[in-house]
Amino acid sequence: MSVLNLSAQQGSKPNLMNIELMLNNSELFRAQCKRLVEETDKACKRMQDDDNKRLDQRIRDIQFLKKELEFKLEEITLEIDVLLALQSRVVNALEATKEPLRVTVLCLEERTKRFPSEKLHDDVDRELLKERELIEGVASLLHRVVEQITEQIRLNRSAKYRLEKDLKEKFEAQCIDNSCVLMTTHSVNNLQKSKNTNAVLPSLTVTPEFWENISDINIAKAEHQKANSLSLKALVESVLEQTAADMQKQVQATTAAFQLNIQEVKNAKSQMEDKLPKILSEISSQQRIREDLQVAITENEQCLSLAQARLALRCQRPGKEQCYDPAQSQLLAEVQQLTANIDRLCGEVVQSEEEQRALVHCQLQLQEHIDVKTNTLYIDEVICSQHREPIIIRNF
């Protein structure tokens, strides 16, 4: 029973003993309350100190991860820039294959305009076909390389996005924890008064290990993409160097085939051109010798007419005078000899005409072949060479 209840039961008469007891109990209660206030105050200060220490440690952890994230972000950003520059080089190399391919196809088309006798599958055609196949293969390879670089840039940007998002969240968390460190009871009271709302604490399901693992995963992914970028860059550099070397080698081989073929055609044309004046001269000589034969035939025919006229006249001698004398024998032999000579001369005229026809036919063939070689030289030395002259295979 309390002191107040005891006093009420005893009426209004004061009891000094009870009053003294009541005072002692009140003093004891105040002492207990004072100790409780001191203990709770110490506990609050201790807990606030612990909170501040843990918040400071948390801020240091965030700063450490932020540095790693920033370093990795700088690396992946640099790799993206390097790949973009490399992609531009590959695109330029791919664009540079268009003109050589166009010229190669054009040369193949131009060479189909040669005369049928010259449409041989020669070394130049073989080198041009190899050149076209090589350039088309290089263009296809470079196109695939561009696609690979584009995909790697996409993966790098994805890793960069995750790093930036993680950094942004780390920055926000650091700002919040810095604000928590700077908060006091006075600032909290003012904040609550201004907001006039009760904070609802969300359920926190992210463990410290999982929290740290998120950044480690992002860093590991970025590092993996960086390694892939370096491997791809080395591969692309090798491809650019090798394709340029292969194209330069093939272009040189095709040019050498052109030069050799042009020289061979020039030599053949020169030999035919050297023969042509000789054939023309021989045709003229045949014409002159035939004229000489005709003169000889005429002279022999005149002599034959004379001999025959003498024989005919001698046949008019009196009967007893028609003796087979030496003169008669000589005239008969002369007629026989002149007739044989005329026959031989006529045969030589026929032979000369055949020789001349053969020479004229040879002349026409030579002129035709010279025209063919001239056309071939024009196509290879003028048209194709002019088209191929500006071709320069550069290293990109």
Over residues 173-188, the pLDDT tens digits come to: 889 888 888 887 776 6
Confidence of residue 4 (pLDDT cuts 50, 70, 90): very low
Return the biggest CA–CA distance within the chain: 231
199 has pLDDT over 60: no
pTM greater than 0.85: no
75 vs 73: CA distance, rounded Å: 5
pLDDT at 184 (0 to 100):
74
pLDDT at 392 (0 to 100):
86
Higher pLDDT, 13 or 363: 363
101 has pLDDT over 80: yes
69 vs 159: CA distance, rounded Å: 11
134 has pLDDT over 50: yes
pLDDT at 197 (0 to 100):
46
Mean pLDDT of the chain: 88
In the structure encoding, which two tokens stand for residue 74, read together?
Answer: 């700088």
What ranges in the chain are assigned the alpha helix state H? 3-9, 16-96, 98-111, 123-182, 185-195, 208-314, 326-377, 385-388
198 has pLDDT over 70: no
204 has pLDDT over 70: no
Place of tokens 């969300």: 202
Q: Which residues contact 282 (CB under 8 A, 6 or more apart)?
A: 359
312 has pLDDT over 80: yes
27 has pLDDT over 70: yes
Most confident region among 31-40, 56-65, 245-254 by mean pLDDT = 245-254
Cβ neighbour number for residue 45 with a 10 Å cutoff: 10
In the structure encoding, which two tokens stand for residue 194, read together?
Answer: 């201004």
CATH 1.10.287 at 30-183+210-263, yes or no: no
What percent of the chain stands above pLDDT 90?
60
Q: What is the mean pLDDT of residues 27-56?
A: 88
pLDDT at 6 (0 to 100):
45
Over residues 219-259, the pLDDT tens digits come to: 999 999 999 999 999 999 999 999 999 999 999 999 999 99
